Chains A and B, each alone.
Chain A
């Protein structure tokens, strides 16, 4: 069973990330296979969020390259971006619009013509507030809404930065089952998290192992 138009195998080779003068990590190899899960661990500031933004092409790597099915992603960024979802710390929710409007907009941005908005709202249990302006939503509901865009427009690669933040137990359970379904369908996920999420068979990537020593901070 594979609902995605093609399988996605993402490989990062010798990735390095620089923020200002500081080299956050270097020489990092990672691999994300269909159905796979990658859990990023490490202390605050070890570069978990930076790695996710780098995988999402929001940051350019200081060295190394990203390959999608053996091709450099920057050869065809539009194709790669259509295959991924990134959920970061900021939800991008507009206080004046309703969850229904937001999901429709996000799905359109993703190039989806027939978004599964109702299914997405139901998957994260926010159907009841679908027509409210988002300014009335709680932090947890806004998080659920941000996660619902994973369902509204299907994409094989999910990059999630602390997806469990602000979620209650019910929300965390919904997230876990959404991830399990996604992986069973051949999708893959990279997640940075401090809250424990049930991810059977996940690969752990400890980012502190790739930290650059201070004296190397300027060289790659």
Chain B
């Protein structure tokens, strides 16, 4: 337990000292969303219809952008050896890493999302479904992202490989996340989509650290 909390605190402290990392991800998120009105034209009707999709895709890409922070530095500077040598099982260490990643990426994305909803003229009635959806869906992104980040360690172009590996894994989250926003504006209600999003994260919680730890052992050998 000491090691688990130590890992999370260490990663949070690193993120705080290198504040630029979080800023970069948020900056990318905001810019990516702002680009759409320029690309598709500023008609409010059109923007409003694709608003949920824009925000979710941008959040997803911003999360991918932050994944190399997960292990790349530890892999290069030998820190990963020390994590592997800790008495705490590597699977738990992966869970700690993913938790810290979510706190420094997923959570900030959730917090700035209402601002972005304004840019794309999302119906305020859909805001709770958007934020709740991101809150439930981003943990799956951090957990699944750890698998891709671990698998791509030691590759010549880790960033590109990681993106190719992780985007298909993010598809279900994207589908239900965007659908939840749509559904919240209809009679259907967002409940079923939000439950599915939560289910994705809950399913990733035990399985993703297992897979990430296995991939990491491969990279350490």
Binding site for B on A (CB under 8 A): 56-60, 78-79, 81-82, 84, 86, 88-94, 96-97, 101, 104-113, 133
Contact = CB atoms under 8 A, between A and B. Distances in A.
Contacts of B6: 104-105, 107-109
Nearest to B4: A108
Where chain B touches its partner, the secondary structure class is helix
Given A108-B3, A108-B5, A113-B2, A97 B17 contact: yes
22 contacts: A58-B81, A58-B220, A59-B221, A78-B88, A81-B85, A86-B82, A91-B78, A92-B77, A94-B73, A96-B17, A97-B10, A97-B13, A104-B6, A105-B6, A105-B9, A109-B6, A109-B7, A109-B82, A109-B86, A110-B3, A110-B87, A111-B88
Nearest to B21: A96
B123 interface: no
Interface in B53-79: 73-74, 77-79
Given A108-B3, A109-B3, A78 B87 contact: yes
Interface string B29-45: 00000000000000000
Interface of B: 2-3, 5-7, 9-10, 13-14, 17-18, 73-74, 77-89, 220-221
Contacts, number: 82
A139 to B, nearest CB: 13
Nearest to A91: B78
Contact of B87 (A59, A88, A89, A111): A111
Contacts of B82: 86, 92, 106, 109
Given A96-B17, A109-B6, A91 B87 contact: no
A96 B86 contact: no
Nearest to B74: A92
B85 A78 contact: no
B77 A94 contact: yes
A89 to B, nearest CB: 7
Nearest to B17: A96
A60 B79 CA distance: 19
B14 A96 contact: yes
Given A90-B78, A92-B79, A111-B87, A101 B2 contact: no
